[in-house]
């Protein structure tokens, strides 16, 4: 059932694009630089979504200064290779085009650094659909999803009467939206499980891109 959302905030990784190959290769590169060998790359899927520093510290027990070094090495690989080891989910370009034609305002709200996110949108010819692109800063600030959402809602000069919705595949997207009092849509074709999303009680949960169209159009 369609809902009259006029401002649509999209997460990037796991929502618009499948970044698995590039992110996993970048993490392996960073871990190898620290002498850490990870034989099961599927263990790294939990890195897709949350801030990198938190993941390196939580999953590999790194001290903060070592985690920051790991991020530097991650970006060394990602900025030249990993960023384009990526693919757009089927039907996403058509969805963005159709929503734009309905005068919906599309905004990118990602925990990925803004500079990287913009390059990805440009590479896949998606940038023209977005009114504003907002992400984290390269200095490690504005990484929490609620901070990103709050930033894009304020920095993009959206009208006060707008009705926004946040779309993402991980609990961080849903929790960030809830913290700011806006609706959310959890997508199950990305990297978050149904159980993970349901625990955050999103406004909607969908399985396929076409289900998004039914809500947003």
Q: Which of 11, 13, 18, 169 is catalytic?
A: 11
| Helices 145-155 & 171-179 angle (0-180, nearest 10) | 60
Let me know: does 51 contact 143? Beta carbons within 8 Å: yes
| Helices 92-101 & 209-216 angle (0-180, nearest 10) | 10
* CA angle 183–188–190, rounded 5-degree value: 105
Give catalytic status of residue 54 as yes or no. Answer: no
The contacts of residue 154 (CB under 8 Å, 6+ apart) are none
Q: Which residues are catalytic?
A: 11
């Amino acid at each position: 059932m369609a809902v009259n959302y006029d401002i649509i905030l999209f997460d990037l990784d796991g929502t618009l694009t499948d970044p698995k190959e590039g992110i996993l290769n970048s993490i392996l590169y960073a871990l190898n630089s620290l002498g850490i060998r990870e034989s099961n790359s599927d263990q790294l899927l939990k890195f897709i979504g949350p801030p990198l520093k938190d993941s390196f510290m939580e999953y590999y027990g790194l001290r903060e200064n070592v985690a920051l070094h790991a991020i530097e090495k991650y970006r060394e690989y990602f900025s030249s290779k990993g960023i384009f080891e990526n693919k757009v989910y089927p039907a996403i370009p058509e969805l963005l085009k159709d929503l734009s034609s309905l005068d919906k305002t599309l905004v990118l709200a990602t925990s990925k650094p803004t500079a990287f996110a913009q390059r990805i949108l440009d590479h896949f010819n998606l940038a023209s659909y977005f009114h504003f692109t907002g992400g984290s800063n390269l200095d490690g600030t504005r990484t929490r999803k609620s901070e990103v959402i709050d930033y894009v809602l304020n920095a993009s000069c959206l009208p006060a009467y707008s009705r926004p919705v946040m779309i993402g595949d991980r609990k961080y997207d849903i929790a960030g939206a809830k913290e700011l009092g806006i609706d959310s849509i959890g997508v199950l074709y990305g990297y978050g499980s149904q159980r993970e999303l349901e625990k955050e009680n999103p406004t909607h949960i969908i399985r396929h891109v076409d289900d998004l169209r039914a809500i947003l159009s």
